[in-house]
Chains A and B, each alone.
Chain A
């Protein structure tokens, strides 16, 4: 689960390397990996199909198959296609020529509307605007209390509507906002199911009465396949002008939001990144694209490596990787280099697909003990064994274990790790060396 796209693509393409010509069938195999990755990121199935078709066409056009960095190119093509679907650039919020500007928030139950209403008030307040919050959720227990509490924390006034005339009250309060010196009105509505006819009519009435400049649908970043259907139903009833992606501070990939954008055409405008009232940001499509792909923060990693790894050694080793000459001696010196770059766990977290491995890594004294053990094991090997570990059979393993004061299973583990490291470093080494990694802005963490 959650295997990372670039890792998978790399292994798919690795299998293809060295063949004189790579067929379309081979590309399709790679695209099957892309499909799985997108589905695991909760991208809607229909959207996945469309994306794959686009990517396939472009990949063939760019002669990806003849390139040694084909995997990276495919990742880049997928990335670009996602950014396009997410809607190229950030879209600003509308502002009325004559105040008040009215914003209505809508969405399913628990998606984050009330919190977003308060966060938006806070964001606008910081820009010098004078927001007013309207509590129009008359159903959920203590929904009004919730907004009132948040308004108090911000020093933003909150007005509640009368449950018997929600739509007309919202319109009246909004219209009189400028008289109270308020130039922006943010309306928090009750959570509702898109198939709940009476609740959908209620919000349609609110929108018809208050004629908002923005109708924002708040979508949960953890939402799955159904998000497209529910958002489409909201869009059919309400003139949606934007999407807010709430709860994006977790590890959900947020593929549902891409799908909603792609299917409804409504732009993503804001992104919620925490429970606190300052955790709302303007949406950046490229960052979300990388997150959906599970790209980690490859660029930062490459930069860190370039800073700390001795360039000549790195190049020499990268060459060895590519020629499959990487030895245990190199492994040892690589470990030393990596140690200089920072705690191993931190580094692994930045490599796509390595987050889980990072969690299993020991820290502090235990890490040092293991380093010493590795050193001992490697130095108990013969030169030939270090150059070609495949010759290390059972009896050699016993000898090495005895010589290094370790056990056979320690030796086995190291050899296994080495094989994995070799695979990983091969990808990493060739990317860092060639600089052919797709150039993308670094993504600190959404």
Chain B
């Protein structure tokens, strides 16, 4: 997908709240900042799931500037907020492990966040860019998780290696990496079972998958993508902490941004864990995965004008 088209997709997918709550904040371009306006801005940021621990200091700063007369017009205030938020999200969106054979990507996260769908969409993206991806169905736990990825593999026309129900997921990934080497696949994308970050045993299982993957190819996995549900609230931060501790997460994917939720919880994660958001899920179709574009993402929270 050309970059410009992707930009349009994110913009339009993320812009749904504009007509609603935040849209009301931005009537005319020369509007004066008022106390009420600042309150509405604060409300908008909190309603987008930005952590109160980030919003409070940001608003305190804006209120100070307002009180000293340095912040007068709405466009200026918005520009300041946008700049802060966009800067917070700056990061390298390229996938790691370019040139490694095969490059190994693990897709991890809590239950139902969108891992399987993301793995399939990512396979399509890579295939469209000329790579030879291999999908790996390593969720041997959830009912029909393997069939789900197999259907996706057919749909996006990418080969797949599947585990058996109740099989050892680490062994599946290990075998797939060897198979990829033999078959000349350039990237291995392994879908793992959903697990809550609080479940010690399941997290240990994930730790094992990571360790065994390293035995299949030195330095692997190249990329451990944590898939976060864009509708998630503050718990996403705990998820990111725990998955990073166990599986050395290297990048984030935020899904379901085609709804009205804006994924604002990710700001606290990026700030604390210094992880880049690499991809955004903006729908249920194979092509609904786009690279992170901080400006577009923030514009989903704040209107573009002003």
Contacts and interface: CB of A to CB of B under 8 A. Distances in A.
B46 A225 contact: yes
B293 to A, nearest CB: 21
A275 B256 CA distance: 22
A220 B265 CA distance: 16
B47 A225 contact: yes
A250 to B, nearest CB: 4
Interface in A127-157: 139-143, 145-150, 153
Given A45-B46, A250-B197, A39 B261 contact: no
B26 interface: no
B196 A250 contact: yes
B96 to A, nearest CB: 27
A9 interface: no
B222 to A, nearest CB: 27
Nearest to A153: B143
Interface stretch (A59-67, A85-93, A106-114): A106-114
B237 interface: yes
Interface stretch (A167-175, A226-234, A376-384): A226-234
A40 B46 CA distance: 10
B144 A255 contact: no
B111 interface: yes
Interface string B127-153: 000000000000001111101101110
Interface string B241-260: 00000000000000010111
B229 interface: yes
A349 B143 CA distance: 34
A225 B48 contact: yes
A interface residue count range (under 10 / 10 to 19 / 20 to 34 / 35 or more): 35 or more
A214 interface: no
A141 B286 CA distance: 12
Contact of B261 (A145, A224, A250): A224
B51 to A, nearest CB: 7
Contacts of A426: none
A223 interface: yes
A194 B239 CA distance: 25
Nearest to A223: B231
A146 B234 contact: no
B251 to A, nearest CB: 20
B53 A220 contact: no
Given A222-B232, A275-B142, A39 B46 contact: yes
Contacts of B48: 225
Contact of B147 (A110, A145, A275): A145
B155 A226 contact: no
Nearest to B112: A110
A142 B117 CA distance: 12
A110 B114 contact: yes
Contacts of B258: 193
Nearest to B116: A141
B231 A220 contact: yes
What DSSP secondary structure best describes chain B's contact surface?
Answer: loop
A41 to B, nearest CB: 7
A40 B284 CA distance: 29
B43 interface: yes
Contacts of B235: 42, 221-222, 250-253
Contact of A195 (B16, B152, B233, B265): B16
B197 A222 contact: no
B259 A40 contact: no
B162 interface: no
A256 B198 CA distance: 19
Contacts of A221: 235
Given A110-B114, A145-B144, A146-B148, A1 B234 contact: yes
A254 to B, nearest CB: 9
A229 B16 CA distance: 13
Interface string B180-223: 00000000000000101111000000000000000000000000
B49 A110 contact: no
Nearest to A250: B196
B52 interface: yes
Contact of B231 (A40, A227, A253): A227
A392 interface: no
Given A2-B234, A108-B231, A150 B112 contact: no
A142 B112 contact: no
B152 to A, nearest CB: 6
B196 A141 contact: no
A2 B151 CA distance: 40
Given A1-B237, A36-B52, A224-B231, A251 B198 contact: yes
B295 interface: no
Interface in B68-119: 110-114
Contact of A220 (B112, B148, B264): B112
B12 interface: no
A32 B142 CA distance: 43
A141 B151 contact: yes
B259 A193 contact: yes
Given A2-B234, A221-B235, 7 more contacts: A45-B47, A145-B148, A146-B145, A223-B233, A225-B47, A251-B198, A256-B233
15 contacts: A45-B43, A110-B256, A141-B151, A143-B148, A146-B142, A146-B144, A147-B143, A193-B258, A220-B231, A225-B47, A225-B233, A225-B261, A249-B199, A250-B110, A252-B235
